[in-house]
Structure 1
Amino acid sequence: MKRSFPWHIVVFLAPAFLIYLVFSAWPLIDTLRLGFFSTNDNGSQTWAGLANYHSLLFDPLWSEGFWNAMKNNCKFFLVHMCIQNPLGLLLAALLSMRGVKFAKGYQTAIFLPTLLSVVIIGFIWQLILSPLWGVSEKLLGLVHLDSLFQPFLGQEETALYTLSAMSVWQFVGIPMMLIYAALIAIPDEIIEAAYVEGASAWRIFWTIRVPLILPTLGLTTILTFVGNFNAFDLIYSVKGALAGPNFSTDILGTYFYRAFFGYQSQIGSPTMGAAVATLMFLVILFGVGVYFYFIQRKLQRFSF
């Protein structure tokens, strides 16, 4: 019997496919195309080949800012990897334990900042950390640590790490909830059998629970990587497009903004901005590719 073509599937998928094509695929393809052109004083575009990428990587006029933004973005990511994800794992492990009172309330309180606007988060923390009217110095004084207070957002050495800590505070609820869902999905029979064999809670956590949630830990890692190398809004809302002081908080997102749209005395160039966006895309694509090729394949073999 000859099967008819499943037109109903095409009809249901067509709207989503068209939306994806118009708002995601086509802008990405056009950005990749635009990076191979240059813009002259008249605004017209001419073919430039790899000249824009050569300027970004090797011309001091562009490369100094680009490599500074790349270095800062790597620091931004490492802070999240070394603090946010382990903290999310710790919180998830504690909240998944039996007999924890008000566990749902704690989960809600920790996850709530994730739902707030980044602009609101940045404004609130600016008020808290302000040397003029902030409350952080007074709070440190209550525990006799006021000598440790500094203008954390105003110093080149501490500004980026302070913004990273603000981001960790806001988004730690995401890895916490993902890992918590994976922990409570582990069958109770496995844990009870380990207890019967005399294993301690610490050994059960590291030898049973953690290996069983490795796919979730890998997922949180790649989500953190993609999110951090796409970051822009927190830096922009707190430090502006110049990402001060002295570009010490500049990351790829803010560097792309200045390259594309321009800022103050810097003239924007859509073609150079497209080249920056393309390099950001390649960095993220490379990181995701490394994860799927080297890590995800091992996790799949481990699960079998």
Structure 2
Amino acid sequence: MTEAKRPIRWHIAVFLAPAVLIYTAIMILPLFGTLQLALFRSVDQAQTFVGLDNFRTLFGDPRWSAGFWNALKNNTWFFIVHMLVQNPIGVVLAALLASPKLRFSAFYRTAIFVPTILSFVIVGFAWKLILSPLWGVAPNLLDLIGLKSLFTPWLGKEAYALTTLALISVWQFVGIPMMLIYAALLTIPDEVIEAAECDGVTGMSQFWKIKLPLILPSIGIISILTFVGNFNAFDLIYSAQGALAGPNYSTDILGTFLYRAFFGFQLQIGDPNMGATIATMMFLIILVGVCIYLFGIQTRLRRYQF
């Protein structure tokens, strides 16, 4: 007897085609266009293939390398603040909100998550007004509790501006890791919790020994999303400090550095080829970070999954 032929699942291609076409049009083609643009340079108003010369200029020419390494350093610190402040706070808030003894937990979840839906422009200008030493409310609030002497124009000082903006970003987006961890805590089977309680593991000990290992995969996903989001950051810095990312480029990150290089700003003339080179470096940095997570960390976290 001859084996029956398997039916061709043509419907899979039909359902996937719209998403694939849209993703290709708005993501894949612009990506390859950027990579191609990074390998060319405008010579006599014509695009000439120069290979990796633009990358040599980016790393070897002091006019470009100083700005690039400054932006990369600031971007790294911006990411570290989110990892050390935002994600731990998100885990703590999720653990508190997941407690069945907490009343009005739905209200708290909504209140903490609301800032994530606000526009970057609104958040940037609002906090710039709040922290203003002239008409901001921060000096008056500190004065009410007797701490006005601690106030300083944080957004106007090189030593504090970037950290201040990072904490503002933490305030805005802490609701995302909170909700993801909260959802992960809800998926833990009741049988596991009941077994832990029968063994006398309750309270904080139960969270550290039972719940935390089970939600490590979710924490890993949140970490890599934080990494990608922060190395693509631009909006908050631009809305609060402008394209020059002042004071004295102390808040300049790769996104604002790319913006000035590609489009130009004030006396700086835009160079699309160098802008594409910087964008390519941003893509490679994110790609390396994601690969390290996927092949080095995620495989170790799978052991905690059911």
The residue number in structure 2 matching 1:39 is: 42
Identity rate of aligned residues, in percent?
61
- Taking the aligned partners of 2:10 and 2:186, their CA distance within structure 1 comes to 41
* Correspondence 1:116-265 to 2 at 5 A: 116-265=118-267
Deviations 1:32-87 (A, max 9, x none): 111111113x4321111111111111210100000000000000000000000000
- Taking the aligned partners of 1:168 and 1:212, their CA distance within structure 2 comes to 25
Cα offset for 1:4?
A: 4.6
The residue number in structure 2 matching 1:71 is: 73
- Taking the aligned partners of 1:187 and 1:14, their CA distance within structure 2 comes to 37
What is the Cα-based RMSD across aligned positions, in Å? 1.1
- Taking the aligned partners of 1:289 and 1:43, their CA distance within structure 2 comes to 39
Match of 1:157, SS?
A: helix
Q: Which amino acid aligns with 2:31?
A: L
Match of 1:38, SS?
A: strand
- Match for 1:89 among 73, 85, 91? 91
- Taking the aligned partners of 2:60 and 2:76, their CA distance within structure 1 comes to 19
CA contact (8 A) 2:139 2:148 kept: yes
The residue number in structure 2 matching 1:113 is: 115
- Taking the aligned partners of 1:188 and 1:112, their CA distance within structure 2 comes to 30
Normalising by structure 1, report the TM-score.
0.97
Q: Which amino acid aligns with 1:299?
A: L
Deviations 1:200-236 (A, max 9, x none): 4121111110000010000000000000000000000
Match of 1:53, SS?
A: helix
- Taking the aligned partners of 2:293 and 2:15, their CA distance within structure 1 comes to 33
- Taking the aligned partners of 1:286 and 1:248, their CA distance within structure 2 comes to 26
Cα offset for 1:302?
A: 4.2
CA contact (8 A) 2:216 2:304 kept: no
Structure 2 portions without partners, runs of 5+: none
Match of 1:13, SS?
A: helix
Deviations 1:147-176 (A, max 9, x none): 000001000000001100110000000000
Q: Which amino acid aligns with 1:212?
A: L
CA contact (8 A) 2:38 2:280 kept: yes
Match of 2:81, SS?
A: helix
- Taking the aligned partners of 2:98 and 2:11, their CA distance within structure 1 comes to 44
Match of 2:63, SS?
A: helix
Q: Which amino acid aligns with 2:168?
A: M
Match of 2:158, SS?
A: coil
CA contact (8 A) 2:214 2:304 kept: no
Cα offset for 1:192?
A: 2.0
- Taking the aligned partners of 1:49 and 1:73, their CA distance within structure 2 comes to 27
Match of 2:159, SS?
A: coil
Deviations 1:244-300 (A, max 9, x none): 000000000000001111111111111101100000000000000001111101112
Q: Which amino acid aligns with 1:98?
A: P
CA contact (8 A) 2:59 2:65 kept: yes
Cα offset for 1:95?
A: 0.5
Whether 1:8 aligns to 2:11 is yes
Normalising by structure 2, report the TM-score.
0.97
Further displaced range: 291-300 or 144-153: 291-300
Count of aligned pairs: 303
Distance 1:137 1:266, change over 3 A: same
Cα offset for 1:98?
A: 1.4
Match of 2:41, SS?
A: strand
